[in-house]
Amino acid sequence: MSSAPTETDGRMRFPGVRAPKPLLSREAERQLSPRQLELLDELEAKLLRAGLADLTMAEIAASVSCSLRTLYGIAPSKDELLMTIVDRRLHRIGRAAIEALDPSLPPLDALRAYLQAANEAVQPEAVAMSADLAKVAGAGRVVSAHEAYLIAVTQSLLDRAVAEGQIAPVDTASVAHVLGGLGGEFSRPDVAEIAQASPKETADAISELILKGLLATR
């Protein structure tokens, strides 16, 4: 069972739950030049439109008008570069989702806000990115690590909802696994193709159905 969330300095904490270690450490990011930081943002935008996985490092450098040396100063290979871009994006969204948690809210309401913020990772453009990442060795492990963290936070909030009597006792690990995997499932190109709404809208809607169902069975 995951640890129950606690409150510190007005913020919600999750003892025993650790976010994935960034591929680009804070120290390494501080050592990058302003231009290299700009390039990370530019390349993230390009990756969301798909196509980078099919390019060489030289072609990627040409697409953002920089030298190969500048790119290799960020990552030692194309795969490492693309994984760093994705990991950096997911960490940014993950931090925003944690910051969206209001300790004063009932746990299920806090969970709703958290999931909606976390699902920003699967906006419509993420479908193209998912197709691109399928070609990058190791990218699946990066995405899975972030999903595992989302699931752990979700389970902690569900455990708190049970402990506070907001919902009836339930297999929180299984429910968390379903809720935490919705965004990734609906950002898969083959699944997104048959859905009537965007991956985020679909994930948010199904999350809401599950959360309301938990309340209804209290």
Domains and CATH numbers, the chain: 22-216 (1.10.357.10)
pLDDT in tens, 96-149: 999 989 989 999 999 999 999 999 888 777 777 888 888 888 888 999 999 999
Closest CA to 209 of 104, 98, 115: 115
Query: Would you state the pLDDT for residue 23?
Result: 94
The H or E element spanning position 6 is strand 6-8
Those residues whose C-beta lies under 8 Å from the C-beta of residue 210, and which sit 6 or more positions away, are: 175, 178, 179
Phi, psi of 7 (to 5 degrees): -115, 130
Strand partners, 6: 13
pTM for the full predicted model: 0.89
Query: Would you state the pLDDT for residue 2?
Result: 55
Query: Would you state the pLDDT for residue 21?
Result: 94
Instruction: Encode the chain (218 residues) as per-residue pLDDT tens digits.
Output: 455 676 655 677 788 899 999 999 999 999 999 999 999 999 999 888 867 889 999 999 999 999 999 999 999 999 999 999 999 999 999 999 999 899 899 999 999 999 999 998 887 777 778 888 888 888 889 999 999 999 999 999 999 999 999 999 999 999 999 999 998 888 887 887 887 888 889 999 999 999 999 987 76
